[in-house]
Structure 1
Amino acid sequence: MRNTVCLVLAAAVSACGAAPDPAEPTPIETPIPVEPDGGIGDGAGPIPETDEANTTDAAIIPVRFQGVWDYEGGTCALESDLRMEVSADEILFYESIGTVNAVSADGEDTIVTLAVEGEGETWEQSTRFSLMGEGDDLRLHTSDGEQPKQADEYPSKKCPADGESE
């Protein structure tokens, strides 16, 4: 009986795993290295800077242009045909929507390339965004993004944040 107990105990101990062999090297876990640019060593680059003066691979419209805009003589109401809602990745117009394909900088201006869909049609357009003035006199000027900066006949004012018309 004593031999049976010893065999059972030996089997139980061996099932839990053998003791490490001192002749074999102990594996060392290597920590994930930190890349010089702050990455975690997986090959991914760092999070892009939010410097609005540079072209961005993320195709995001800079924050300074985001918001609801309407012609300076408009009411900011939803039915205003010159009203546009500019977000990071799309622009909602009166009867169309533009999805951002590319964003680049040209000095203080930003060139936004959109895939636009509206009234049963689709097209691509490039629009130059420029800001003029300050405070209550701040105006968004838009023009053809493939041309040098041009005067905007219909500059836009920023609408109230609450979405109500003026």
Structure 2
Amino acid sequence: MKRLTAMAALALLAACSSEEPVPEAPASEPAATASASPAASAAPAAELNEIPAAFRGYWDAETGSCANWSDAQLTIEARRVQFYESLGEVTSLSQPAPDTLVIDFTMSGEGDTWTEQATYRLLDGGQVLESSFGDGEAFRRKRCEALVDMPME
């Protein structure tokens, strides 16, 4: 009798064990779909009509104080970028990678207007912004909570 009970218990255990892999297979399929989903949901360059939120905000030179008078200050908004003495209105955007943005601007400042293309790249978890214009050298800025109104040094 003990032997029959033990065999019945083993049979039940084996039956339970064979059912476990079935739920695991469907569970792993959605995980694979979910990991592919962000790439599939990324907006193509033609559909990108605003600067992504990760790039927006206040920026100053890496060694700067985030003062509102800093000539390295940069304020990025949804459709424009405010520089120290000029303003760039976005004419087109593309995002070749999640951390990289290419913007074509119509610029105005100091009585002039011109066109410009800039490439922005987020580094250090979005706390550093590397920017370059045309074939120029890259310049790094740090993220600021706000541009601070402080006396000039």
Q: 1:114: how far off?
A: 0.7
- Moved beyond 3 Å, runs of 4+: none
1:155 maps to which residue? 140
**CA distance in structure 1 between the aligned counterparts of 2:77 and 2:42, rounded to whole angstroms:** 15
1:100 is matched with: 90
Map Cα deviations across residues 137-166 of structure 1 (whole Å, 9 max, x no partner). Answer: x2100113x55xx862x31100014x4369
| Letter paired with 2:148 | E
Whole-angstrom CA distance in 2 between matches of 1:104 and 1:83: 23
SS at 1:95 equivalent: coil
- Asked if the contact 2:48–2:94 (Cα under 8 Å) also holds between the matched residues in 1, the reply is no
Secondary structure in structure 1 of the residue aligned to 2:54: helix
Aligned counterpart in structure 2 of residue 64 of structure 1, from 54, 78, 86: 54
| Contact persistence 1:68–1:86 (CA under 8 A) | yes
Whole-Å separation in 1 of the counterparts to 2:82 and 2:48: 19
Alignment partner, residue 107 of structure 2: 116
Alignment of 1:1-166 (within 5 A): 54-57=44-47, 59-108=49-98, 109-134=100-125, 138-144=127-133, 152=138, 154-161=139-146, 163-164=147-148
After TM superposition, give the deviation of residue 107 of structure 1 in Å. Answer: 2.2
Supply the AA of the counterpart residue of 1:74. Answer: G
Q: Indicate the RMSD between aligned Cα atoms, in angstroms.
A: 2.3
Secondary structure in structure 1 of the residue aligned to 2:44: coil
Stretches of structure 1 lacking an aligned partner (at least 5 in a row): 1-50
Shift of 1:57: 3.8
- Which of the pair has more CA radius of gyration? 1
- Distance between the aligned counterparts of 1:101 and 1:95, measured in 2? 19
* Aligned equivalents of 2:66, 2:54: Cα separation in 1: 18
How high is the sequence identity, in percent, across the aligned residues?
30
Question: 1: distance between equivalents of 2:54 and 2:73?
Answer: 17
Count of residues in Structure 1 that have an aligned counterpart in Structure 2: 109
SS at match of 2:45: coil
- Structure-1-length-normalised TM-score: 0.58
8 Å CA contact 1:75–1:165 kept in 2: the answer is no
Structure having the larger proportion of residues in helix = 2
User: Hey, what's the Cα distance between the residues in 2 that align with 1:83 and 1:55?
Assistant: 27
**Greater fraction strand:** 2
CA distance in 1, matches of 2:69, 2:148: 12
